[in-house]
Amino acid sequence: MRKKIFIVIGILLLAYAAYFVYGIVTTRSHSPSETKSISHQGLDVKVVYGRPFKKERLIFGEEKDKALVPYGKYWRLGANEATEITFSKDVAFGDISVKAGSYRMYAVTQPEAWTLTLNSELGKFGYFEPNYALDVAKLDVSADTAPQETEQLTITFDPDSTGVITMNIAWDKTLVMVPIAKADSTLVE
């Protein structure tokens, strides 16, 4: 009798493991990984993130409305693994000083503003919330209406002549812009 119970438990565990692996493999094809980087006036910035599609879903909104990214909740700022950002030099991330290095970047969205957070915990699957004690910077930024709807989450960089790099995060009808500059530069408002 025990042998049959162990066989049933083994089959159930194997089925669960297969389902889990299948979910990870197919998720990656639906939300491909993207690496965006820029070198500008001695500063290198790189972002690695998963790019989900809208697919006629409600992206930003209330949890009761089944929004994919509910207001006021942790969002990995992409899909699959946690989104990571790397700075080659100390920077001003918005108006916050951040040391050179790599960070997990996540967001908490609201209708008119997002809180973007950099966290020193790396190498984790993004679905799981970070260790909040390892947050190194929290930046509140305006969430604006994008000039056009974006089907797939997109992060781009726009440099200017003063050394500021604007990181643009666009998805659905929302656009968030974050100024990044070398720590010895002055951010232009």
DSSP of 110-176, one letter per residue?
Answer: -SSEEEEEEES--S-BTTSPP-GGGEEEEEEEEEEEEEEEEEEEEEEEEE-TTS-EEEEEEEEEEEE
Q: How far apart are CA 55 and CA 106, in angstroms?
A: 22
Nearby residues of 7 by Cβ (< 8 Å), 6 or more positions away: none
The rounded average pLDDT for each run of 10 residues, N- to C-terminus, in the chain (189 residues) is 78 72 54 95 96 96 96 95 96 97 97 97 86 97 96 97 96 97 67
Model pLDDT, residue 130: 93
**What are the tens digits of pLDDT across the range 128-176?**
899 999 999 999 999 999 999 999 999 999 999 999 999 999 999 999 9
Bridge partners of 143, per DSSP, are 176
Domain boundaries, the chain: 1-30, 34-182
Report CA-CA distances (Å) from 161 to 41, 59, 124, 146, 165: 9, 34, 36, 24, 9
**Count of residues in the chain:** 189
pTM for the whole structure: 0.82
Nearest 5°: the CA angle 168, 171, 175 is 45
Token digits for 111? 């209708």
Q: How far apart are CA 47 and CA 76, in angstroms?
A: 13
